[in-house]
Chains A and B, each alone.
Chain A
Amino acid sequence: MKRRTKNLFLNWRIILLTLVLIGSIATLAVRPLTFGIDIAGGVAIVAQTEHPVDADTMQLVVDSLQKRLNTLGVKDITVEAQGDQIVLVKVANVTTPEEANQIKNVIESQGVFYMEFGGVIFGTGRDVEYVGIYQIKSDNTWAVPFRISKSAAEKFAELARDKAGWPVDMFLDPPVNSLIIVSESVYKTMNSSEFNAQAPEAPTLMERITKAFNITVVTYANQSADEIAKLAESKEKIVLVDVPQELQAELENVNVTVRFVPRNPGESDHSLIVRVLGLYGPYSVGEGLATGAPQQDVQITGTAPDRLTAEQEASTIYTVLKSGSLPVKLTVVGMEFISPRLGEGFKNQALYAGIGALIAVLLIVYFHYRNWRIALPVASTSLFEAIIILGFAALIQWNLDLPSIAGIIAAIGTGVDQQIVITDELLGGEKTTKITRRSSVLKRMGRAFFVIFASAATTIAAMSFLLVYFVGTLKGFAFTTILGVLIGIFITRPAYAEIAKYILGED
């Protein structure tokens, strides 16, 4: 008996398990586990680019988002590209739903930026070389200084010569190449000199956007969906502004891209137009810029009724100019906010659920074999397996999210199954005579491990696709499942087989 025990403890499989287990506990002690947003709290935002982009552009998007959120003072951010269209932004330490929404808005306001004069685009976001800190004076006028590229400055100087007081517009994500259907009053306002700064003789806003962005504006006069679709034939999309919403469904039925913009309660034509076009301005051209001499250092100024509004206006422009460098438009397509307090609850629950499941395994295995000497090793091997998976997760700083935890549970579930296969194979040999026992044990173990390897291989094969192809949260699930299965077949299952052989007197 003593020699058997000694042999057991000197078996390399047991030694391996012990070492890995100690290593895992040590790792967990030194490097605590990190948890995903859905457990630790925070906001996870999925953004999608307007169209698929190449790897370089994607990297640019990721970098500029990161920079942007950093400058806004948001902490604990990870920005990660998945595939050619999806960007995943995770921000920890977000405590209120409002804060979460602000971050979402920031990401979404990252857009494509244009500077336009007289219907000609003289610069885009790429031409904004530097944005200075905005200033607000005591009379509530504000100024945002910035520098534009040499080519933009030259183009502008030529365009704006002798046109002091004319309007300069800036656009963030205007509906380029589209047909805009508007109500009559909106049409009138767009076609008037309301957006002409101090130059009634300048082209109207409508003329400017038509020339610059290939936007056609049409008044809604009960045209049928087919008629409208025909007008929009060469356009990318149709924007419906302040018209009956039924039109949207009708147009979608004839397979055109439609965006519906309703008028907010109490919203004026002016602010509705500004909102639809993503218009900032118009700003009037100062005397100094109308001389024909190119100037790279320029500034936008404005006056507000009070300091707070001035601050808001200035910071909006500041942000818009800063974000102008994004190469492609991003839309937030999904977001999830979990308050940290709740996350704490989830963490405890996962722990309780894990312990509860382990106890359930212990009791059920006991019930089947009526033998603690089988039930305890089975349950403790599963516990060891969980500790090793967690230790590994801590080692590589894997963020444990709920799907990852589900993966661990799945791995442990198959682990228990496989231990039962081993146990039953060993027990199945009770009838055999002593002489044939040894070889038969080997054969039966071989059979058990055939089952184990086959099912491990299928699980890994099935999950690896998930790991490679999927975006979003299921990666964590696949990762921990595969990790658990690997730890199972290389470390815990062989060790359990030795323990079981020892306990069942089969070695």
Chain B
Amino acid sequence: MSKSKTKDIPTAGEAVRAKKRQKLSFLARMEYKKMITYPMVVFIVALILLAINFPTLGIDLQGGVVVTAYGIDANPDELAKYISDQIGVDVRVESFTGVDTNGVRVYAPVGTDALKIIDVMKVRYPDAEYTHSEVQPTFGKISQQQGIRALIFAFIAMAVVVFLFFRNLVPSLTIIFSALSDMTIAVAMMGIFGIQLTTATIAALLMLIGYTVDSNILLTTKLLKRKEDTIEDAYLAAVSTGFTMSTTTLGALFILWLISTSQTIDNIAIVLIFGLLADFMNTWMLNAGVLRWYLDRNTVRGGNE
């Protein structure tokens, strides 16, 4: 093959990449004090939000009964009143829509007979498809404890691995703090949007540990082991990669959320979306800010590792 052809091998349009870097260069120009301050403020706001509005626990964590009816369109408030009147127990009704089916979820307190709710609903909607589940508070408590334990252990395991890989206190602690902040913000957002804390959303929070550490490790590696001429170049290269990573994942998650009517999948997707958005800020501002401050202070040892 001729030389010119080889050169034509289509690498990513350099123009596109340059443009992207330019768009993101405002981040590189930001003072690191600000880069650290803003995410810290958000983290503290998230903590406050959690203190006043912690997400409610799903029935799998606190016990309760839920009946789901697929294939019906109903006014939730009116249906709730109807069911409550019929069975003499206060219920809460939520409607949902999916690509191919609509339906409602009826939440009732522990001890309610799910079959009774189904019987009452069948009078109105004989053709709906019904499923039900119930959880006793004792088991809810076990699940809660296990969820907390899993989160703590997973977090510690992550922290240990990060330390082992970087063997450097400040960068490691920053990564660990970023992950903590991502999770905190995600949980605070769940509170705001009324998404319940369930085993599925705990799974999503655990998943966040994996996702968020990715971009932080990328950034830290790039800045600490950088080959590029300046910190700014290394940072911009990382930010551009990170931007691609996050948007791709966010896109996939959004599609997942859009198509699925399974509450499990929906909730996992939405919590990950919250977490990834938080991570964007925490990686590229907080973590980057700390690292730049750290590198400035410890006069860097030349270009080589």
In the complex, the chain A residue whose C-beta lies closest to that of B160 is: A461
Provide the residues of chain B in CB contact with A485, threshold 8 Å: 210
Interface locus among B72-80, B249-257, B282-290, B292-300? B249-257
Contact between A421 and B245, CB atoms less than 8 A apart: yes
Complex CA distance for A430 and B6, rounded to whole angstroms: 13
A345 within 8 A of B: yes
Contact between B202 and A409, CB atoms less than 8 A apart: no
Interface locus among B37-45, B46-54, B125-133, B187-195? B125-133
20 contacts between A and B (CB under 8 A): A97-B132, A100-B132, A331-B138, A334-B133, A334-B139, A346-B262, A368-B12, A369-B244, A371-B11, A371-B13, A402-B265, A405-B265, A406-B264, A420-B245, A454-B213, A454-B217, A462-B157, A462-B206, A466-B150, A474-B150
Contact A430-B217, Cβ < 8 Å, known A349-B261, A474-B150: no
Complex CA distance for A416 and B247, rounded to whole angstroms: 11
Contact between A451 and B214, CB atoms less than 8 A apart: yes
Contact between A417 and B265, CB atoms less than 8 A apart: no
Provide the residues of chain A in CB contact with B245, threshold 8 Å: 416-417, 420-421
Contact between B13 and A463, CB atoms less than 8 A apart: no
Q: How far is the CB of B65 from chain A (nearest CB, A)?
A: 10
Partner of A461, one of B10, B157, B252, B262: B157
Provide the residues of chain B in CB contact with A101, threshold 8 Å: 114-115
Contact between B20 and A403, CB atoms less than 8 A apart: no
Contact between B153 and A469, CB atoms less than 8 A apart: yes
Contact between B139 and A352, CB atoms less than 8 A apart: no
Q: Interface code A147-175, partner B: CB below 8 Å = 1, 0 otherwise? A: 00000000000000000000000000000
A438 within 8 A of B: no
Contact A350-B214, Cβ < 8 Å, known A334-B134, A504-B11: no
Contact between A413 and B252, CB atoms less than 8 A apart: yes
Provide the residues of chain B in CB contact with A370, threshold 8 Å: 12-13, 16
Residue tally, chain A, CB below 8 Å to B: 90
Residue tally, chain B, CB below 8 Å to A: 88
Q: 9 tightest CB-CB pairs across the interface, nearest first?
A: A333-B139, A462-B154, A459-B210, A461-B157, A336-B133, A357-B252, A369-B12, A465-B153, A424-B241
> In this complex, which of A334, A462, A463 has the most chain B Cβ atoms within 10 angstroms of its Cβ?
A462
Provide the residues of chain B in CB contact with A359, threshold 8 Å: 255
Contact between B260 and A353, CB atoms less than 8 A apart: yes
A59 within 8 A of B: no
Contact A360-B252, Cβ < 8 Å, known A350-B260, A370-B13, A420-B241: yes
Contact between A461 and B158, CB atoms less than 8 A apart: yes
In the complex, the chain A residue whose C-beta lies closest to that of B249 is: A413
Q: How far is the CB of B188 from chain A (nearest CB, A)?
A: 21
Contact between A350 and B154, CB atoms less than 8 A apart: no
Complex CA distance for A455 and B251, rounded to whole angstroms: 21
> In this complex, which of B13, B16, B211, B264 has the most chain A Cβ atoms within 10 angstroms of its Cβ?
B264
Contact A334-B11, Cβ < 8 Å, known A97-B114, A97-B130, A470-B150: no
B33 within 8 A of A: no
Complex CA distance for A419 and B264, rounded to whole angstroms: 27
B259 within 8 A of A: yes
In the complex, the chain A residue whose C-beta lies closest to that of B65 is: A335
Q: A335-B134, A454-B162, A455-B214 are in contact. List 12 more A-B contacts (CB 8 A).
A: A339-B130, A350-B265, A364-B247, A369-B17, A402-B262, A406-B200, A420-B241, A450-B221, A450-B225, A455-B213, A465-B157, A471-B142
A221 within 8 A of B: no
Q: How far is the CB of B105 from chain A (nearest CB, A)?
A: 13
B1 within 8 A of A: yes
Contact between A414 and B214, CB atoms less than 8 A apart: yes
Contact A97-B118, Cβ < 8 Å, known A370-B16, A374-B12, A454-B161: yes
Contact between B158 and A409, CB atoms less than 8 A apart: no
B123 within 8 A of A: no
Partner of B11, one of A403, A418, A427, A470: A427
Provide the residues of chain A in CB contact with B222, threshold 8 Å: 447
Complex CA distance for A350 and B100, rounded to whole angstroms: 13
Complex CA distance for A466 and B132, rounded to whole angstroms: 26
B165 within 8 A of A: yes
Complex CA distance for A444 and B227, rounded to whole angstroms: 9
Contact between B210 and A481, CB atoms less than 8 A apart: yes
In the complex, the chain A residue whose C-beta lies closest to that of B59 is: A334
Complex CA distance for A97 and B203, rounded to whole angstroms: 28
Complex CA distance for A266 and B215, rounded to whole angstroms: 66
A67 within 8 A of B: no
Contact between B211 and A413, CB atoms less than 8 A apart: yes
The A370-421 residues at the B interface (CB cut-off 8 A) are 370-371, 373-374, 402-403, 405-406, 409-410, 412-414, 416-418, 420-421
A132 within 8 A of B: no
Complex CA distance for A424 and B16, rounded to whole angstroms: 13
The A465-502 residues at the B interface (CB cut-off 8 A) are 465-466, 469-474, 477, 481, 485
In the complex, the chain B residue whose C-beta lies closest to that of A373 is: B10
Complex CA distance for A353 and B154, rounded to whole angstroms: 28
Provide the residues of chain B in CB contact with A69, threshold 8 Å: none
Provide the residues of chain A in CB contact with B133, threshold 8 Å: 334-337
B22 within 8 A of A: no
B155 within 8 A of A: yes
A428 within 8 A of B: yes
Complex CA distance for A403 and B203, rounded to whole angstroms: 8
Contact A361-B259, Cβ < 8 Å, known A413-B211, A430-B11, A469-B150: no
> In this complex, which of A48, A338, A457 has the most chain B Cβ atoms within 10 angstroms of its Cβ?
A457
A505 within 8 A of B: yes
Provide the residues of chain B in CB contact with A373, threshold 8 Å: 10
Complex CA distance for A279 and B4, rounded to whole angstroms: 93
Q: How far is the CB of A263 from chain B (nearest CB, A)?
A: 15
Contact between B161 and A364, CB atoms less than 8 A apart: no
> In this complex, which of A85, A443, A444, A505 has the most chain B Cβ atoms within 10 angstroms of its Cβ?
A505
B178 within 8 A of A: no
Contact between B237 and A428, CB atoms less than 8 A apart: yes
In the complex, the chain B residue whose C-beta lies closest to that of A450 is: B221
Contact between A333 and B135, CB atoms less than 8 A apart: yes
B101 within 8 A of A: yes
Complex CA distance for A464 and B203, rounded to whole angstroms: 13
The A328-348 residues at the B interface (CB cut-off 8 A) are 331-339, 341-342, 345-346
Complex CA distance for A86 and B214, rounded to whole angstroms: 35
Q: How far is the CB of B68 from chain A (nearest CB, A)?
A: 8
Contact between A451 and B237, CB atoms less than 8 A apart: no
A11 within 8 A of B: no
Contact between A462 and B146, CB atoms less than 8 A apart: no
Contact between B129 and A339, CB atoms less than 8 A apart: yes
Contact between B136 and A97, CB atoms less than 8 A apart: no
B199 within 8 A of A: yes
B9 within 8 A of A: yes
A288 within 8 A of B: no
Q: Interface code B1-44, partner A: CB below 8 Å = 1, 0 otherwise? A: 10000100111111011001000000000000000000000000
Provide the residues of chain A in CB contact with B153, threshold 8 Å: 465, 469
In the complex, the chain A residue whose C-beta lies closest to that of B117 is: A97
B57 within 8 A of A: no
Q: How far is the CB of A343 from chain B (nearest CB, A)?
A: 9
B91 within 8 A of A: no
> In this complex, which of B10, B207, B221 has the most chain A Cβ atoms within 10 angstroms of its Cβ?
B207
Complex CA distance for A356 and B251, rounded to whole angstroms: 10
Complex CA distance for A357 and B111, rounded to whole angstroms: 40
